[in-house]
Amino acid sequence: MFTGLIQALGHVDQVTGLEGGLEMTISCPDGFLSGVNEGDSIAINGACGTALGITSHVFNVKWLPETLAKTTFDEIEPGARVNLEKSLKVGDALGGHYVTGHVDGAGMVLDWQHAGEFGELIIAAPEALLPYLVEKGSVAIDGISLTVVGVLDTVNERFDAPQGWGQFTCFIIPHTRDSTSLGFKNGGDRVNLEGDILGKYVARQLSRTTSKGG
């Protein structure tokens, strides 16, 4: 379990193909891996991975085919910057929202505008994720806990996105832009999305009630 508050920016040093999956070698800022043991969980761009081969500054993570199918890791290359967060411990402050690290799917940056110190980020989301997006609710974008400002069930005609997708908007403060991978994102870039787990349970219960005619 994570909070969506990014603790460090990592650097992808190497990407190695495996049979059906891949392995990433990630270097970290000084001190980030302090206290991290072999097999501990780290969220990389919002996806929960198992830290392997840990040194003072570097760790490896292996991704299964299911993860590659749901995330942007199938296109990641050496040199990419990734958001890192160590798993939540009992008693830690919860400053964001509950993020499981189980990415629901990949979205796409439609527009990224800067208004003074602040930014407006517009993301296209697959149809299956739209029930979990609620105004003033929470969403994790590449593992970053953000508040949804507005949601549309269709993509504005001025943008190019896959058929059936919708869009949502988040406002970004300078700290988030400067200390996460969002500062490196441009229109057309793909991002990992995880809907609020509370919203998933509500959507599931409503769908069961409807199917039973309740």
pLDDT reported for residue 113? 87
CA distance 87 to 117: 31
Residue 91 has pLDDT above 90, yes or no: no
The CATH number of the structural domain formed by 105-200 is 2.40.30.20
Give residue-wise pLDDT tens across range 151-205.
Answer: 999 999 999 999 999 999 999 999 999 999 998 999 999 999 999 887 777 777 7
Residue-wise pLDDT for 29-78, tens only, equals 999 999 999 999 999 999 999 999 999 999 999 999 999 999 999 999 99
Instruction: Output the DSSP codes for 41-60.
Output: EEEETTEEEE-BS--SSEEE
Residue type, 19: E
Report the chain's mean pLDDT, rounded to a whole number.
92
- pLDDT band for 90, please (50, 70, 90 cuts): confident
CATH 2.40.30.20 in the chain, residue ranges: 8-86, 105-200
Q: What is the pLDDT of residue 213?
A: 62
- Give 117's pLDDT tier (boundaries 50, 70, 90): confident
Q: CA–CA distance from 194 to each of 2, 98, 100, 129, 176 (Å)?
A: 12, 10, 8, 8, 18
CATH no., domain 8-86: 2.40.30.20
pLDDT score for 189: 96
